[in-house]
Amino acid sequence: MGHSAGRLVEVLKRWYGNSTNGLEDFWQQLFKENPYVLTQLFAVPVVFIGDKAYVGGMNVDRKDAKFVDYLYANDSSNDALLVELKTPVTKLLGSRYRKGVYKPSAELSGAVVQTLDYRRELSASIRTLLETSDKKIEIFNPRCVVVIGNAILELDNEIKRKSFELFRTSLKDVEIVTYDELFKKAESLATLFNLIATKNENQ
């Protein structure tokens, strides 16, 4: 428990010191080293299947292969869970569309479509993929999550907050979680253990 608590404090320090880091590879490695941070996205116990997991799409010439950033499975049903990462500095909103409304950014809407395409490919390829894997995974109604942006920094007025919430709550098959929301959950977990990770301490 002490070792796990120490890792939790360290990962929070890395978040505080890198919240404006726009390198996707940095976040890929951070979550790979600390997988419990992403498991907070799910309300049920999950099993890690792989990072940069192949979900299909490869032609006979080995082109167009598609890889989702993280693939999990529900621990009880084995239903697939797909997680796609962007970065904390990826924009959530684009320009003002009409008075009182902002449109989602191209990066956000693109990430949503990309994740849905990964789910479609996985559904079409699952039987072939399982022939060469010992992983237990099923396709019932796979949940998709996109981790992107920083709501606290970007959504600095009521119109932006409203526009973002209207967009993400309208989505039926993809959940959008911002980095600050994700690490807020980690902070809450640290609070349960009476841990302290000060925001002025960098990695």
In a domain, residue 192? The reply is: no
Q: What is the pLDDT of residue 193?
A: 64
List the domain range (segments joined by +) for residue 62.
Answer: 26-184
In a domain, residue 53? The reply is: yes
pLDDT tens by residue, 71-99: 888 888 889 999 999 999 999 999 998 88
CB 30 within 8 A of CB 11: yes
Query: H helices of 98-148, where?
Result: 106-131
pLDDT tens by residue, 6-42: 788 889 999 999 999 999 999 999 998 888 888 888 8
In a domain, residue 13? The reply is: no
Q: Residue written as tokens 């084995």? A: 78
In a domain, residue 171? The reply is: yes
Q: Which of 4, 55, 42, 5 is nearest to 145 (CA)?
A: 42
In a domain, residue 18? The reply is: no
pLDDT tens by residue, 116-136: 999 998 888 877 776 666 777
Strand segments, DSSP code E, in the chain are 46-56, 66-74, 79-85, 93-98, 101-104, 138-147, 174-177
Question: What's the total number of domains in the chain?
Answer: 1
Q: What is the pLDDT of residue 126?
A: 79
The structure's pTM equals 0.86
In a domain, residue 66? The reply is: yes
In a domain, residue 15? The reply is: no
Q: Which of 91, 99, 102 is nearest to 163 (CA)?
A: 102
CB 90 within 8 A of CB 149: yes
pLDDT tens by residue, 148-189: 999 999 999 999 999 999 999 999 999 999 999 999 988 887
